[in-house]
């Protein structure tokens, strides 16, 4: 177990270093001159040169990266061009809202995906199965802004069950969480279905039936634990998928998280904010993967040996 943990942790650390390098290179790919943005339109060449030295842009690339990485390691994400404030605290203030949204989305997708997949597997080949799988296909293939706007229109505008936008209560959370989680729910229902069907073919399921168990018990007690493993293993990975969805969903629902912050930063080409959010997002994706790896052995004791 310790070795397993050590291997996973060192792999995660390597990935994070890779991410900082990529983010750093981003600076040069974005078609904007930070010096011009900070100095403003009416600046003289001397002023611009001074800012360039201030930012360290006159130094060689490797040196620039090292000082960037050192600042990152101290938790210093730099200063926003547009807001003239520290990026670190800015992200920190937005993060809880995004985490809450993602937690809501994970709950939503599990609540949708697992029962739907179980249902479809138990009705394999029947109408119920086909309906469930068609719906799951729709949720996976509908763009999130279409989904978000539709939910907003029906449940908030027409029916008035939920507020139109904002943050602060459970009813604010439900629509954005469902929007973010629905596609994942569709995925999960498919994974759950095929995983269940695979498990129900196993010899030990026959053993369970030979004990005189009802089909329902066989599914819930013997098959579910085994079938849910590949699904649970995905939850951590979802964090990565959510990170892109968060940008759309937070903007549709006016949710004050890092997705909204990212969108505003992209529009104003606020490179330190873009870099900061990207780095934080990468941190979460790596943490999510690590989490997925750590949960698996708890569910399937065989993995402990590896």
Partner 1 sequence: MPVRVKKMRQDKKQQLLSVEGLSIGFATEEGPIRVVEDISFAVASGETLGLVGESGCGKSVTAQTLMRLLPSPPARIEAGRIVFEGTDLAQAGEARMRKIRGNELAMIFQEPMTSLNPTMTIGAQIGEALLLHRGLGAGQARPKVLEMLTQVGIGRPEKRFAQYPHELSGGLRQRVMIAMALICNPRLLIADEPTTALDVTIQAQILELMKALQRDSGIAILLITHDLGVVEEMCDHVVVMYAGRIAEAAPAATLFARPRHPYTAGLLAASPRNARRGATLTTIPGTVPPPGKRGQGCSFADRCARALERCRRDVPPLMDHDKVGSDRPNLASTIDSNNLARNLREKPVSAFSHPAPGDEHRVACWNPVP
**Which spans of this chain sit near partner 1 (rule: CB under 8 A)?**
202-204, 206-214, 222, 225-226, 299-302, 305
Nearer to partner 1, 40 or 212 (CB): 212
Nearer to partner 1, 66 or 299 (CB): 299
Say how far residue 183 (Cα) sits from the centre of its chain.
12
Residue 133 C-beta: closest distance to partner 1, Å:
21
Residue 222 C-beta: closest distance to partner 1, Å:
5
Angle among Cα 72, 75, 79 to the nearest 5 degrees reads: 80
Nearer to partner 1, 49 or 300 (CB): 300
Residues 6+ apart with CB under 8 A from 245: 105, 144, 180, 183
Residue 216 C-beta: closest distance to partner 1, Å:
11
Burial call 143-177: b when 16+ CB within 10 Å, e when fewer:
ebeebbeebbeeebeeeeebbeeebeeeebbbbbb
Find the DSSP H helices in 123-166: 127-141, 144-151
Nearer to partner 1, 169 or 207 (CB): 207
Find the DSSP H helices in 201-257: 203-210, 215-217, 224-227, 229-252
Tokens of 227: 């079938």
Residue 110 C-beta: closest distance to partner 1, Å:
19
CB 115 within 8 A of CB 192: no
Tokens of 82: 């547009």
CB 178 within 8 A of CB 102: no
CA distance 3 to 8: 9
Residue 147 C-beta: closest distance to partner 1, Å:
35
Residue 202 C-beta: closest distance to partner 1, Å:
7
CB 176 within 8 A of CB 253: yes
Tokens of 187: 């995925």
Nearer to partner 1, 41 or 306 (CB): 306
Tokens of 153: 């229109």
Nearest to 30 by CA among 266, 244, 258: 266
Tokens of 226: 């085994």
Residue 14 C-beta: closest distance to partner 1, Å:
31
Residue 195 C-beta: closest distance to partner 1, Å:
13
């Amino acid at each position: 177990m310790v070795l397993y943990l050590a291997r996973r942790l060192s792999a995660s650390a390597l990935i994070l270093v890779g991410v900082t390098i990529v983010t750093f290179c981003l600076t040069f790919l974005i078609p904007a001159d930070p010096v011009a943005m900070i100095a403003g339109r009416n600046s003289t060449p001397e002023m611009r040169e001074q800012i360039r030295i201030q930012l360290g842009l006159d130094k060689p690339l490797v040196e620039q990266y090292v000082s960037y990485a050192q600042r990152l390691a101290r938790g210093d994400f730099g200063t926003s061009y547009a807001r003239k404030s520290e990026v670190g605290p800015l992200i920190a203030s937005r993060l809880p809202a995004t985490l809450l949204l993602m937690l809501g989305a994970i709950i939503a997708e599990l609540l949708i995906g697992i029962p739907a997949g179980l249902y479809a597997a138990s009705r394999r080949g029947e109408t119920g199965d086909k309906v469930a799988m068609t719906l799951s296909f729709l949720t996976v293939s509908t763009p999130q802004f279409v989904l978000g706007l539709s939910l907003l229109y029906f449940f908030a505008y027409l029916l008035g069950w939920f507020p139109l936008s904002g943050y602060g209560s459970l009813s604010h959370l439900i629509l954005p969480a469902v929007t973010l989680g629905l596609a994942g729910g569709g995925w999960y229902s498919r994974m759950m279905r095929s995983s269940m069907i695979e498990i129900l073919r196993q010899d030990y399921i026959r053993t369970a039936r030979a004990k005189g168990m009802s089909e329902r018990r066989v599914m819930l007690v013997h098959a579910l634990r085994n079938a849910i493993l590949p699904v649970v293993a995905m939850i951590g990975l979802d964090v990565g998928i959510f990170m892109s969805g968060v940008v759309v969903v937070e903007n549709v629902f006016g949710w004050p998280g890092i997705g909204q912050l990212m969108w505003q930063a992209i529009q104003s080409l606020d490179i330190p904010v873009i870099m900061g959010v990207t780095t934080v997002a990468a941190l979460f994706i790596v943490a999510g993967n690590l989490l997925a790896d750590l949960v698996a052995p708890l569910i399937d004791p065989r993995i402990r040996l590896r």
